[in-house]
Amino acid sequence: MSRTVALITGASSGIGVAYARLLAAHFDLVLVARRADRLHDLAAELREADAAVEVLPADLATRDGIDAVVGRLEDGDVRLLISCAGVGGYAPLADVDPAEIDRLLTLNAVAPVRLARAALPGMLTAGEGTVVTVASLLAFGAGQESIPIPRTLYAAAKAATVAFTRTLTHELSGTGVRAQVVCPGVVATEFHDGFGHNVPSAMSAQDVAQASLAGLDLGESVCVPGLEDQSAALDALLAAESALLSGGNRATPATRYLKHQPA
């Protein structure tokens, strides 16, 4: 009897490999990343756990690469999509090669949306399925001047995936299909030249993947693996968003603008 299929991007290292290893006992897998040799090595390892494993090499920073994975998802049998592929590309915006802007935003923000769009019809027809996107705690760091990482593009892309998933969750209500965004802090992987291996507080990739899967069981649409009192933080976030929305949506500008005469 065939098992449920999970498609994991970023499955050639780090958190994506950890998801694949945890899921192989229960899912057949489609592994996506650029380094085909690594995907084939992991597939051989996981087949020993009786998983059927497909290898789908693709560069998700390109439209062709995304289209290849979209084509696989349109088969309609994937019930768990994990968009984990991502890069940091940390640099001040003025130093970023303009061509890299498109690649970074495509990989980190556009690909998860295109893949979710391709996976959802099959999940909605089946009345079950899960879309997981790995973002970052830096999605919540836009206002934090003290973080010493030049991260404009990365933060923007990851914040987009957080907003995407939180909003999608409402759209999917009552369908049997779920969405979760995962926001780790520093993780000890190859990410950004393996800098996490030198950070004492870095979490392991296995713990991140494990927390995400446990969070799904707990019904979490936002999973912050290291956060103890998650519901208090998310409630505070929701309250701040509500204040901005309800306070700012008015027909007249706020008093400070009416009083101020631009020079």
Ligand X SMILES: NC(=O)c1ccc[n+]([C@@H]2O[C@H](COP(=O)([O-])OP(=O)(O)OC[C@H]3O[C@@H](n4cnc5c(N)ncnc54)[C@H](OP(=O)(O)O)[C@@H]3O)[C@@H](O)[C@H]2O)c1
Q: Which residues are catalytic, by number?
A: 154
Q: Considering only the stretches 14-22, 170-178, 237-245, 250-258, report the one whose residues sit in contact with ligand X under the rule CB under 6 A.
A: 14-22
Buried b (16+ CB within 10 A) or exposed e, 64-84: ebbebbbebbeeebbbbbbbb
87: nearest Cα among 162, 19, 179, 16: 16
87 contacts ligand X (rule: CB under 6 A): yes
Least separation, in Å, of the C-beta of 81 and ligand X?
Answer: 14
Spatial separation of the C-alpha atoms in residues 162 and 9, rounded to whole Å: 17
Structure tokens at 62: 């390109």
Is 30 within 8 Å of 68 (Cβ atoms)? no
Site for ligand X (CB under 6 A): which residue of 89, 122, 184, 225? 184
Site for ligand X (CB under 6 A): which residue of 6, 8, 13, 223? 13
Site for ligand X (CB under 6 A): which residue of 7, 15, 109, 160? 15
Q: How many residues bind ligand X (CB under 6 A)?
A: 29
Nearer to ligand X (CB atom), residue 28 or residue 59? 59
104 contacts ligand X (rule: CB under 6 A): no
Is 75 within 8 Å of 30 (Cβ atoms)? no
Spatial separation of the C-alpha atoms in residues 49 and 42, rounded to whole Å: 11
Cβ atoms within 10 A of the Cβ of 146, count? Answer: 5
Site for ligand X (CB under 6 A): which residue of 30, 73, 107, 110? 107
Site for ligand X (CB under 6 A): which residue of 26, 35, 47, 197? 35
Q: Would you tell me which residues interact with ligand X (CB under 6 A)? A: 9-16, 33-35, 59-61, 84-87, 107, 134, 136, 184, 186-187, 189-191, 196, 205
